[in-house]
Structure 1
């Protein structure tokens, strides 16, 4: 059974999905009518511009609210524009679904037979409407809220509203929080896709890179090392450079001057003078507590002269027992030569 609704009346909806249909007479020269729907949150505003479903944005991102193509009845006497909503699947932050309409080319006073029909979306095309709300007394408005689906105590209900807007669809959409794209377009009335004109989101972002900084992936080559000038043809080659000593090699030691020992070198051993006796080592010192050793008296040894035999130092008794030594022939005369002079005799 169809509930015929008066303005402000409401009924419960025991269905999970509804089909809301705006229907009016196809009168020649009458304004065209478009149906739309707005999904509102607890504050009575849309959550975003995507919550506005109309002919330029016929499907909500969730797919639960859809705008269907406009049709004409079989006899051609009426025109219908339809919106479907799956109420049982809408999220909990959606409290209301506003069913609206707008006219193009005139006001609703020139639209005859305007009414809103509410059907069960699961029923067939021949099923009767759940509710019907006639808006015969149209005012001089170009947009109106025909009715609303609202949530109450976990269930959905329908209320007949019939509130008009003289400012058209733009005023209606702005009243529910929609960002208007073009105020001169009474048919579009809101942003369908992308940021609206004048929205700061449409401005190009400044380049965060400082001026003069190269693009990513750009490499700067190091300055070239200057090369030697080219040798002209026919010119003689330049003289070779002397080899350089590596810096880690120590300098060669300088030889000390003649007759003086160099710093860091041991002094030369002294040589005995010509014809002088050699120095004798000192006599041994007896140990503490022991008697000194008895030494036989010896004649002081005389260093023989150069080229003479050593003297016979045997005792007198032994010399008497020995046979006399026959005289030896004199050795041949040798060529006399001075010995090599030591460093002390060289001129300084």
Structure 2
């Protein structure tokens, strides 16, 4: 039975799952009835950050334009352009045993592609969630439903995977940003150009 998290809640992944190595982070969403005339292209990404909360290089940003971290620890499974259908819309695979020692957190984000010109924001998105699956047995470990707290935001930091005293933990964040991917990149020390 997965643990359903609330915003701000932290949970250990390692404690109840000794030997946990490979996990799949799935993100999903639906688009509200309100139609802006364009498909909603939401993009999941992972920022691998050090002790200072910043990425050490542009290579620590895994997204549709850089599908795999050089360590092999983080792999983006591909871009979904519409969010149609049930289940996960985008997935990111993590091999915890390969995460470099200098990486303290992996932040998972979702942005709306081309939100400004398409006049789209997270107020028009519903049923968005993140969940983490143990790939060894396909068991859902945790789930965080983001709720409908957003209005004009075009980017969301969904949650963070982090190491604390040798244990992998997850922090359900759910905080919105205006300014889309560029704002997130700036937050994590990446030059968005």
Q: What is the match of residue 134 of structure 1?
A: 145
Q: What is the match of residue 68 of structure 1?
A: 77
Match runs of 1:1-348 below 5 Å: 1-14=1-14, 15-25=20-30, 29=35, 31-70=40-79, 76-77=85-86, 80-104=89-113, 105=118, 106-124=120-138, 127=139, 129-137=140-148, 138-181=150-193
Q: 1:112 to 1:152 in 2, by over 3 A?
A: same
Q: What is the match of residue 17 of structure 2?
A: none
Deviation of 1:21 after TM superposition, in Å, equals 0.9
Deviation of 1:154 after TM superposition, in Å, equals 1.1
Larger Rg: 1
Aligned-residue Cα RMSD (Å) equals 2.0
Q: Which protein has greater RCO, CA pairs closer than 8 Å, 6+ apart?
A: 2
Distance 1:134 1:2 in 2: 12
For residues 105-154 of structure 1, the C-alpha deviation after alignment (integer angstroms, 9 at most, x for no partner) is 41011011111111112223xx3x11111112223111110000011001
* Contact 1:26 1:78 (8 Å CA) reproduced: no
* Contact 1:36 1:52 (8 Å CA) reproduced: yes
State the number of aligned residues.
Answer: 176
Distance 2:55 2:3 in 1: 29
Deviation of 1:61 after TM superposition, in Å, equals 1.1
Distance 2:167 2:48 in 1: 16
Deviation of 1:68 after TM superposition, in Å, equals 0.4
* Contact 1:26 1:77 (8 Å CA) reproduced: no
* Contact 1:139 1:164 (8 Å CA) reproduced: no
* Contact 1:31 1:107 (8 Å CA) reproduced: no
For residues 312-340 of structure 1, the C-alpha deviation after alignment (integer angstroms, 9 at most, x for no partner) is xxxxxxxxxxxxxxxxxxxxxxxxxxxxx
- Which stretches in structure 1 are left out of the alignment for 5+ residues? 182-348
Q: 1:112 to 1:10 in 2, by over 3 A?
A: same
Between Structure 1 and Structure 2, the one with more strand by share is 2
Q: 1:175 to 1:2 in 2, by over 3 A?
A: same
Does the residue aligned with 1:130 lie in a helix, a strand or coil?
strand
Q: 1:70 to 1:168 in 2, by over 3 A?
A: closer
* Contact 2:32 2:124 (8 Å CA) reproduced: no
For residues 211-245 of structure 1, the C-alpha deviation after alignment (integer angstroms, 9 at most, x for no partner) is xxxxxxxxxxxxxxxxxxxxxxxxxxxxxxxxxxx
Does the residue aligned with 2:123 lie in a helix, a strand or coil?
helix
Distance 2:26 2:61 in 1: 17
Distance 1:145 1:130 in 2: 20
Does the residue aligned with 2:111 lie in a helix, a strand or coil?
strand
For residues 83-117 of structure 1, the C-alpha deviation after alignment (integer angstroms, 9 at most, x for no partner) is 11111221211100001110134101101111111
Distance 1:62 1:32 in 2: 28
Deviation of 1:31 after TM superposition, in Å, equals 2.2
For residues 152-180 of structure 1, the C-alpha deviation after alignment (integer angstroms, 9 at most, x for no partner) is 00111001000111011101111111012
